[in-house]
Chains A and B, each alone.
Chain A
Amino acid sequence: MEYVDSLTGFRLDGRRPNDMRQIRGEIGVVAKADGSALFEMGNTKVIAAVYGPREVRCEYSMANFSTGDRTRRPKGDRRSTEISLVIRQTMEACILVHLMPRSQIDIFVQVLQADGGTRSACINAATLALADAGIPMRDIVTSCSAGYLSSTPLLDLNYVEDSAGGPDVTVGILGKMDKVTLLQMDSKLPIDIFENVMQLAIEGCKAIAQYIREVLLENTKLLESRKGL
């Protein structure tokens, strides 16, 4: 299958190789939680709730209705466990845990709708929720994926592109500190192409970080006005 049209240069859904899907973030969607956020990357929609500070734990789950066919998913299957671990480790790397000894932070992320890139969307949602909960962090962690199909590096793969079975690089970075906290890849790539693909994913992360900052700023302004400052 041709994932990038050789004549027009467009991907199947009309994006150019370097285009990200439309992203949207919303803070405070679960009132009871200490911090919460909803994050959308195209059709992928993820909700995150943070309770704490206690001790960092993370739980990833996918809603039964998130994918095309509605199936009951057992909790704690291999995939969820792995993604939970990935998110936990990524988050631990940026939370200033030494400020909160012997305490627990619970991060619950649930995929409401899956269309590729759930891992990245979860990390972005978790970041937003952690910020909402006011948990001290080194920097905002953001994540984005990139792949390599039809001999072209592609940013932010959707489900169709993801299931093509090509290489898929997920990167998480601390934008201001220029540090990589997460790097995963399926399949194989020659090293020089890998670098290009990873660079593209990092550009995507930076764009998301920019957007998340805007969302947070807006939220803070909203809080300010509510307090009547």
Chain B
Amino acid sequence: MLQSKSFAKKTKQGRVIKVVREHYLRDDIYCGATFCKVCDTSAARLSASASATILIVDTNVVLNQIDLLENPKIDDVVVLSVVLEEVRHKNLSVYNRVKALCTNPLRKFFVFSNEHHRDTYVKDMIGESPNDRNDRAIRVAARWYQIHLGESTQILLITNDRENKKRATEEGISAETVESYVKSLGKPDLLDLVVLSSSVDVPMEDVEDLRPSKKKIIYSEHKPMSEVTSGLLHGIYHQGKLRVNRYNPFEAYVGSESISEEIVICGRANMNRAFHGDIVAVELLPQDQWRDGKSLIIDDDDDDEEEVHLVPNSADDVPRFENPVQPTSGSSPPVSSHPPGRVVGIIKRNWHSYCGSLDPMPMPAGNAGVAHALFASKDRRIPKIRIQTRQLGNLLDKRIIVAVDSWDCLSRYPSGHYVLLIENDINSRPFSSQVLACLPPLPWSLSLEDLANSNREDLRHLRVFSVDPPGCRDIDDALHCKPLGNGNFEVGVHIADVTNFVLPGTPLDEEASQRGTSVYLVERRIDMLPKSLTEDICSLCSDVERLSFSVIWELTPDANIVSTRYTKSAIKSCAALSYVEAQARMDDSRLMDPLTTDLRNLNSLAKIMRLRRIKRGALTLASPEVKFQIDTETHDPLDIGMYQIREANQMIEEFMLAANISVAEKILKHFSLCSLLRRHPSPTKEMLEPLLRTAAAVGLDLDVSSSKALADSLDRAVGDDPYFNKLIRILATRCMTQAIYFSSGDLSPSEFSHYGLAAPIYTHFTSPIRRYADVIVHRLLAAALGISRLPPIFMDGPQLTSIADNLNYRHRNAQMASRASVELHTVIFFRNRPTDTEARILKIKSNGFIVFVPKFGIEGPVYLVAKDKGSSDWVVDEAHQKVTKAGTKITYGILQTVRIHMEVVEPQPNRPKLQLTLII
């Protein structure tokens, strides 16, 4: 079975070391064609009919045409292992997509390990480049396939490399380019997916250059990689991530480690084709080209203007402003604190797919013809993208997704092609049948086996209840409170026992771990787990027996924990209350029933715990959460307003925090290296800078030396109106980063702390129905209690880290989607309701100011200067953040209340936006 030949490979890594590796060649690798008579066909995936055409693709085809390959009309493709390896080295995301194709049972993609096959292995020839060698390997494999499968089957090598195609034809292999192959299929919609390779990106190109040779060069050429590397080494260039100003797409920042300040890049020419998020090399401009950094909301350019959007909840969402110039009294022309620069090279592209719509344009003559259209992304930081399509009529006025292919220095806009995807990378597809097969059959009820399990305590006799937002169907937490004989209380937090149903390693588990979290949109929810689990089997509804995982404390009347106990349990909730109901019960002094007494006991305990937490330095931050009332028939929002927080909410929150902390302590004690925890890094001085500046402008002194100091000074920040304090808290919240998940093995214990909660350790345990992190923590806790064994995945440090990273990524995406959904509904709401309301000024710019509308939780710009006019009668003092109307006494300062008018306008079709204007 083992046909082994060993050979020597030589690699150089700094010092020259000869590395010898064995490379076994085998005779038991099969061709993967179902009709093959010689091979073992148990793992075969290719077509069953011998007359089919089998495609063999080369590396560049996979790299550039992955969208085409993903189309289900393309099938019977052999992916050679040499191609896969090259793809993996060049582009990991494409590699993952091909890999997904090759494992998808519905697609006929087969991986052939040509490098280990006795007949298709090729030895390096002297003087041959690796590329040529790999091309030869592809041709050898293609010929082997042709001979192996016989003449009746057509083997077609797809390559865009002219040289490779020529040689293949010489060797008797039929070869075609992507374009000609797809044309021969006669499907115009497939042709749209074909990426037309431009002559710059793929030098070995088979399409004639139709362009006029004398075309204006718009952007300067990128420097070659070698020059960039040496420039970085000598400190001439600076490397960093390019972040485009959300308020002004013609201005970007690069934060580089080699230079302390951020480099500002103005204008598309200086940005030199870099996209938001790219890693770029930047050169500083000579001193005489430094202009003073006036922070305009937007440059006067042909692009559209700024949109009103939701108030950010953390530093990560906050759009960036440039720091205003510090006035140096009577000095020479003010120089911005940021040195300007320009992009000389792009080290790593951050291209992905963007969502948006096409710019309106007339239909070209002859409907079937190819049309070039400009695509404008919803994210204004992304430049317009030129695409080619044969179905313009279909795409106009629709929201589409476009991928970027290339951007050469001759064209003003990058070119791309149209694909269909989901923005924010959220999987909203229904669950697959494999996943659904893992679910227990409905109707589910508590079985005797569950009760007989010695690890599961029967707590059905306890008076357990849940408190949730009204209309909540996925109830994952419930509480009970029982006075004990000694004056103490027994308080239990019962969490839905999701891990009893979601077993590690099952398709259901993998799907959930991929999704990571449920996504809450205004009118719908994208679940992490199938509906039967979230709303029925796991949901702790009232009057049904459910399985749960409980944390039970004995608390003294002043809320000190005497003992903590963790157990799997069976409970029967007696009431599923809403926050309003719970609050009403507590407030109604006539009610003396046991449930209400429990609620009051819990509430008094929670108040003590909360007070103690705040004393420790926990921040009471505020975020303006917006609540919509949705019309059940049209799904249009009926009313909009801030989410009201009651005492009952705080009570539940307090016990959930306590349960999370108790669980974090327990799992960390048992698994100090592989616990999944959640930390909140302390904000750095720079991050708090905007808050301090605003505070200084209104004469407020904040102490940010620790979370305790900040919490105290926030408490002291009481202005002359009741909303002032909340406003300051909202501003503080957006300076913080978001809390993140991590594996305890990756950091030292001093870094575990949660800044916002002022807790040394924290984790997520209480919402396993909608967060995968909690599922992991449930498993850790079960293992810590000896109920079940720890799944092997926890032994694998890097894998746990990658799970934590995925959870952070999904969590963030879910939040962005929720925000986008709320923004969309805000626009729908105001479309037919122009409104006058009060707003607070957050920031003063040279041509207007940014306001925050507390009632609706949105913020946006108010222009004082009309766009086409250069001057106006407003005098703006950016340094003191004040604006005065010339000749009058009308002055606006920061945080001041103004009246504004809100209206939806539609400057371009399909892109409605909210416009704010000042009412004087």
Contacts and interface: CB of A to CB of B under 8 A. Distances in A.
Interface stretch (B288-296, B403-411, B787-795): B787-795
A151 interface: yes
B795 A189 contact: yes
B232 interface: no
Interface string B785-805: 000011010011000000000
B100 to A, nearest CB: 11
A42 B29 CA distance: 21
Contacts of B796: 151
A223 interface: no
Interface string A1-22: 0000111101011110001011
Interface stretch (B14-22, B155-163, B610-618): B14-22
B427 interface: no
Contacts of B17: 68-69
Contacts of A158: 21-22
A160 interface: yes
Nearest to A2: B88
B20 A190 contact: no
Contacts of A13: 21-24
B24 A6 contact: no
A18 to B, nearest CB: 11
A22 B111 contact: no
Contacts of B24: 13-15, 19
A190 B790 contact: yes
B111 A14 contact: no
A183 interface: no
Contact of B102 (A7, A14, A19, A43): A7
Contact of B2 (A7, A19, A188): A19
Contacts of B789: 190, 192
Contacts of B84: 7
A148 to B, nearest CB: 9
Contact of B795 (A14, A160, A188, A192): A188
Contacts of A168: none
Given A7-B103, A8-B81, A14 B6 contact: no
A106 interface: no
B22 A42 contact: yes
A115 interface: yes
A193 B81 contact: no
A42 B2 CA distance: 13
A14 B99 contact: no
B116 interface: yes
Contacts of B4: 21-22
A42 B7 CA distance: 11
A43 B2 contact: no
B239 interface: no
A12 B19 CA distance: 14
B115 interface: yes
B19 A68 contact: yes
B115 A193 contact: no
Interface in B1-45: 2, 4, 6, 15, 17-26, 29
Nearest to A68: B17
A193 B789 CA distance: 12
A68 B792 contact: no
B766 interface: no
Interface residues of A, number: 25
A5 B114 CA distance: 13
Given A69-B15, A193-B792, A115 B81 contact: no
Contacts of B2: 15, 19, 22
A113 B748 CA distance: 40
Contacts of B116: 10, 14
B113 interface: yes
Contacts of B792: 151, 190, 193
A150 B23 CA distance: 20
Interface in B698-734: none
A190 B788 CA distance: 12
Given A8-B113, A160-B21, A43 B795 contact: no
A2 B14 CA distance: 24
A158 B24 CA distance: 13
Nearest to B5: A22
Nearest to B112: A8
A19 B115 CA distance: 17
Contacts of A6: 99, 103
A59 to B, nearest CB: 26
B193 to A, nearest CB: 24
A71 B792 CA distance: 38
B23 A7 contact: no
B277 to A, nearest CB: 26
Contacts of A8: 29, 81, 111, 113
B99 A43 contact: no
Nearest to B796: A151
Nearest to B85: A5
B22 A7 contact: no
Contacts of B19: 68
Nearest to B2: A19
Contact of B113 (A10, A69, A189, A193): A10
B103 A14 contact: no
Interface string B192-218: 000000000000000000000000000
Nearest to B11: A68
A160 B11 CA distance: 14
Interface string A25-52: 0000000000000000011000000000
B860 to A, nearest CB: 48
Contacts of A43: 6, 20-22
Contacts of A12: 21
A21 B2 CA distance: 9
A7 B20 contact: no
A43 B2 CA distance: 16
Contacts of B795: 188-190
A21 to B, nearest CB: 7
B111 A115 contact: no
Interface string A115-138: 100000000000000000000000
Nearest to A188: B795
Nearest to B121: A14
Contacts of A21: 4, 22
B161 to A, nearest CB: 24
B6 A42 contact: yes
A5 to B, nearest CB: 8
A84 B29 CA distance: 41
Nearest to B24: A14
Given A7-B102, A19-B2, A188-B795, A14 B20 contact: no
Given A7-B111, A8-B113, A189-B795, A14 B26 contact: yes
Contacts of B21: 12-13, 43, 158, 160
Given A8-B113, A22-B2, A115-B20, A14 B790 contact: no
Interface in A136-163: 151, 158, 160
Nearest to B25: A14
Interface string B97-122: 00100110000000101011000000
Nearest to B26: A14
Q: Which of A6, A7, A158 has the most CB of B within 10 A?
A: A7
A8 B113 CA distance: 7
Contacts of A189: 795
Most buried by A among B15, B24, B81: B24
A190 B15 CA distance: 39
Please give me the 5 A-B residue pairs with the lowest Cβ-Cβ distance, nearest first. A14-B24, A14-B116, A7-B111, A68-B17, A8-B113
Given A160-B21, A190-B792, 16 more contacts: A5-B81, A6-B99, A6-B103, A7-B84, A7-B99, A13-B23, A14-B22, A42-B6, A42-B22, A43-B22, A68-B19, A151-B792, A151-B796, A158-B22, A189-B795, A190-B790
7 contacts: A5-B81, A7-B103, A13-B22, A13-B23, A14-B23, A69-B17, A192-B789
Interface of B: 2, 4, 6, 15, 17-26, 29, 81, 84, 99, 102-103, 111, 113, 115-116, 789-790, 792, 795-796
